[in-house]
A and B are shown apart, each in its own frame.
Chain A
């Protein structure tokens, strides 16, 4: 997987939009960007995956600029239950799906939502 850099921690008030940026300067042509969410004492949970431009689902949006060297996970109107660690992973789809390759996680971004 490609090396990624993301902030170690972020604080946000309830109801605000939160944007977490991940840098991946060495992203390859076939690489996708995937985000996971992890609550304390639980396993990581897949949030969203994208290749270019914008992807949106019921949980989040993922913005990817044309050069794809970074991406931004956007969480609309966060609540206290969004307090978690968010991981950005970049790799080809098969690798990200655990296909015969190590899927490694960095330290992630710890998001603390404040009342």
Chain B
């Protein structure tokens, strides 16, 4: 049973460019949340997708957008990259409408470096 998988594992981009990160949720999960984790900080909630729609959003600008596909996988897009966007981007999946006693399952993230 595969857990949450994210790709790529590492990425280097230049300021002003655009980036797309991908996430496949754990089998049986239909809800995907994205987090940004700067060095030395806890994960910060970006947004959550369920039924291909953005359901919740954290305090992030519109440069951060996402998408969920019918197979529940998800993408995070960041436009006009800034140096401050350098971080570990984590994807977490959950059953959403399913069992309430199931914790969030995280992938190992994508390390994005903006130069």
Of all chain B residues, the one with the shortest Cβ separation from A103 is B104
Of all chain B residues, the one with the shortest Cβ separation from A45 is B106
Contact B101 A97, beta carbon cutoff 8 Å: yes
Q: Is A115 an interface residue (CB 8 A)?
A: no
Contact B56 A99, beta carbon cutoff 8 Å: no
Chain B, interface size: which category?
A: 35 or more
Contact B43 A44, beta carbon cutoff 8 Å: yes
Please report the C-alpha to C-alpha distance between residue A107 and residue B109 in the assembled complex, in whole angstroms. Answer: 18
Tally of contact residues, A, Cβ under 8 A: 26
CB B8 to nearest CB in A, in angstroms, measures 14
Known contacts A44-B43, A107-B42, A108-B42: does B109 contact A98 (CB below 8 Å)? Answer: no
23 A-B pairs in the complex with CB atoms less than 8 angstroms apart: A34-B103, A42-B108, A43-B106, A43-B108, A44-B106, A87-B42, A96-B103, A96-B104, A98-B48, A98-B96, A99-B31, A99-B94, A99-B96, A100-B55, A101-B56, A102-B45, A102-B48, A103-B92, A104-B42, A104-B45, A104-B58, A105-B42, A107-B42
Chain A residues packing against B (C-beta within 8 Å): 34, 36, 41-46, 49, 85, 87, 93-94, 96-108
| 7 nearest CB pairs, A to B | A43-B106, A98-B94, A105-B42, A46-B103, A93-B100, A102-B45, A94-B100
